[in-house]
Amino acid sequence: MHEVDMTKCLLLSMNEWRTRHEPAVPTVDTVHLQVGAFTCVEPDQLVFTWQAAVRGSWLDGARLKIEPVPLVGRCVVCSSTYAPSAEQGYRSPCCEHPMEEIESGRELRIRSVDYTLTSTPLTVASAS
Amino acid sequence: MHMPLEDTLGLNLLAANQHQAEHNRAHFDAWSLLCLNVMSSPGAGKTSLLEHTITALASDLEMAVLEGDMTTQLDAQRLEAVGVPVIPITTGRACHLDAAMVSGGLSLLQQRLDPASLDVLWVENVGNLVCPAEFEVGEHRKVALLSVTEGDDKPLKYPVMFREADCVLITKTDLLPYLPVDLQRFEAHIREVNPRCTVLPVSATSGDGLEAWYRWVLSSCAALRADPSPCVLVPA
């Protein structure tokens, strides 16, 4: 369940982002994440731990929306892109070359935040 | 009436851990101290490998260990017995070390010695092929172990770990005669997810292959000394 630790890291980043708007307080509607297929993160577990972690904090009610990013490799022999699979040993189907370059799939990115600004003082989510 | 707003962050999800890892790394660079993060599944032989390596390289290198373990200090006791300073980091329920835990371990280490007097800091991670791959601790190189008893399909099933490693050790090769496995298939599957890493078959029991591993450690040390990264210390 390292998604719990991932969520803690995410909350730290969100707290830091919140301070950019001081003295106004942002009310967050949705946090958009990109999660690549070639990472150790299970999106459903991340959403589950997020919901538990934000309860009672300034992010209470904020949704976490995850955009999955597929694994795309680039064959270094012929430069074409392909969808690597474990069954094919991640090799490129065009040239049977090992997966040297990853075009996408390693993303763990906070892409954007949808929010409104209010002036109500709220408490900061604890990351501990 | 509030206008809906959108901020584009483009920030790594693990940015908080990454900042701490970079801070640790800046310290390692300032001390010319090579930090090696050793990772594998439980029981692949990390502690045995370190026992042999530390004993064999004791006359060449000054070393210390940060020992990650979920609940016990058994591994830390084994490594103290070979005569190096060991800082145990008990992670509790966490299945990996993160940069903040390593930073805490470094503070404890500094109470015992001057890290600048060391050549290598071994970070023995918690036994796990999934989580440690995503959490940088500030290491210069990642070392992954895969024992022959685990099966040659593991690089395909846990590709991120083997993709991230700079050096993969295929361990317990002395058991190969008793197993229906093929060493070449282990290496081939590692190469499929990571064509650029160093792959070294070793056995701590028989000693086979260890010389090549020791040379890899020594050359990694030499590379760090020859090209010390510019040290910019940032506030924690």
Give contacts of A17 with chain B, Cβ < 8 Å: 7, 9
Put simply, the answer to whether A117 touches B5 (Cβ < 8 Å) is yes
Dist CA B53 CA B38 (whole Å): 12
- A40 vs B134: CB contact, 8 Å cut-off? yes
Instruction: Measure CB to CB from residue B13 to each of A9, A89, A116 and give the nearest one.
Output: A9
Q: Do A9 and B14 touch (CB under 8 A)?
A: yes
**Run of H or E residues at A51:** helix A43-54
My answer on whether omega of the bond before B155 falls inside 30° of 0, hence cis, is: no
DSSP for residue B205: T
Residue B196's pLDDT is what? 93
> Which residue of chain B is at minimal alpha-carbon distance from A7?
B13
Q: Tell me whether strands A101-104 and B120-124 are parallel, antiparallel or unpaired.
A: unpaired
d(CA B145, CA B147): 6
Give the closest residue to B98 by CA, choosing from B13, B19, B21.
Answer: B21
Give the mean model confidence (pLDDT) for residues B137-146: 97
The predicted complex's ipTM stands at 0.81
- Per-residue pLDDT, averaged over B194-216, amounts to 97
Tens digit of pLDDT for each residue in B46-98? 999 999 999 999 999 999 999 998 778 888 899 999 999 999 998 877 789 99
Nearest to B209 by CA among B149, B151, B169: B169
Whether pLDDT at B231 is above 50: no
> Which of A38, A109, A113 lies closest to B13 in CB terms?
A109
Contact B189/A at CB under 8 A: yes
Q: What does the pLDDT read at residue B229? A: 57
Of the two residues B21 and B92, the one the predictor is more confident about is B21
Q: Residue A6's closest CA among A36, A46, A62? A: A46
CA-derived radius of gyration, chain B:
19
Task: Give tens-digit pLDDT for A61-114.
Answer: 999 999 999 999 999 999 999 999 999 999 999 999 999 999 999 999 999 999
Question: In residues, how long is chain B?
Answer: 236
Test the B interface: residue of A13, A39, A40 with most B CBs within 10 Å: A40
Tokens read off for A58: 């300034």
With 80 as the cut, is the pLDDT of residue B1 above it? no
Residue A118 predicted with pLDDT over 80: no
Taking the C-alpha atoms of residue B35 and residue B33, their distance in angstroms, rounded to an integer, is 6
Query: How much of chain A is in helix, strand and coil states, percent to nearest 5?
Result: 25, 30, 45
Task: Please give the Cα distance from A128 to B85 (Å, whole number).
Answer: 29
State yes or no: pLDDT of A120 exceeds 90.
no
pTM above 0.90, yes or no: no
- Is the predicted pLDDT of residue B168 greater than 70, yes or no? yes
Question: B234 or A44: whose pLDDT is higher?
Answer: A44
DSSP state of B229: P
Query: Of A33, A99, A115, which is closest to B13 when you measure between CB atoms?
Result: A33
